[in-house]
Amino acid sequence: MRAMRHFSVKLNDGHSMPILGFGTSAPTKVAKSKVEEALERAIDIGYRHIDSAYIYLNEEEIGRAIRKKIASGTVKRDDIFYTSKVLCRVAYLWSTFSRPELVQTSLEMSLKKLQLSYVDLFLIHFPIALKPGEEILPKDTDGKLISDTVDLCTTWEALEKCKEAGLAKSIGVSNFNVKQLEMILNKPGLKYKPVCNQVECHLYLNQSKLLNFCKSKDIVLTAYGALGSDPEKEWVTKNYPVILEDPVLNAIAEKHQRTAAQVALRYQLQRGLVVLAKSFTEKRIRENFQVFDFQLTPEDMETLDGLNRNLRYFKNTYDSEDSSVTIEIGEIDMSGTNSDEVVGSGAFCPGEFLYLAHSPCSAHVCLTAYNTGNENLLCLRMG
């Protein structure tokens, strides 16, 4: 099987990133051992880009799978491109690591679990923060979650220090919108630009404006959720359409004698994105890797572009002074708000909590948690 290093994109810091990655976030019902086994199979098949985060609670298993494959001679450490992310720590405490003094701590904890000496890419997971402390969910006397006033630009400086210390080869962001990216890019004394921005992106949410902006700044856009999401998952709105059942997508797949998933992934690759594919079934892991030996026509691409409906699978609630409405993350449509300013924001923590990723560089965000049975929502008041 052809190694992924032959299908890579050059980052703005000189390093290379494989353009097809293996995602490792999983619902709580998926055993961690299954994630480990799936990653071993993925490496055998040819995946070299592995995407994870401390909050996924499986970096120990992921590190073990990587080390097994290194020990067996299947790969060398330099063959693997590993991504981790900083924001929340989940286990015996929940806290933000977006505070500058805690960023390196977050990375060192990931490296300890992985038993690796460095990560290839380290991302700010979400552009919001919760106050550090001993509690899993820090709350005030009124029961509201306590946010932390954190300057994202200062947090970025802490990531730059991680890069200079050799703990991370490249640094980037996740779930940032154009305005938030500009805050980093326009920061006085910027040493390193973000190499990438990882966001929800698929046929029903093609992120064309954000993609064009990132290309203009030599920032790679990475797509998570590229195949949509299983409606049975607890954090997904149940009545949303399933991308892989789309008749237009399936007609194009049939024409090329490919699966709908392969066409959905190929679409993103031909647009110039790095794309993450996730499955814990060997057959699908293998199928998702087979996207480099066919080409979609310009007509196919135009047809698939037309499927965009600005639909987000990972929703949240925005609480303003004047109204309380349920929105699609990043697509705020209310009086006095420019939805273009927040295009591209949006995030999720599998099986845990959803976030609204819309905050200024130094904004204060007030959060309140609600348990709705199958999902937990964080409602935010921007201040």
| Structural element, H or E, at residue 365 | strand 365-371
Tell the burial category of 302 from Cβ atoms under 10 Å away from its Cβ (0-12, 13-18, 19+).
Answer: exposed
- What sign does the dihedral 163-167-171-176 (CA atoms) show? negative
* Helices and strands of the chain, counted as H and E runs: 10, 18
Strand bridging mode 365-371 / 376-382: antiparallel
Element (H or E) spanning 51, and its range? Answer: strand 49-51
Within 10 angstroms of residue 263's Cβ, the number of other Cβ atoms is 25
Q: Out of 47, 56, 82, 318, which one is annotated catalytic?
A: 56
For 53, the token pair is 């985060």
Q: Which residues contact 186 (CB under 8 A, 6 or more apart)?
A: none
- Give dist(CA 196, CA 221) in Å, integer: 6
Residue 121 gets which letter from DSSP? E
Q: Is 56 a catalytic residue?
A: yes
State the catalytic residues.
56
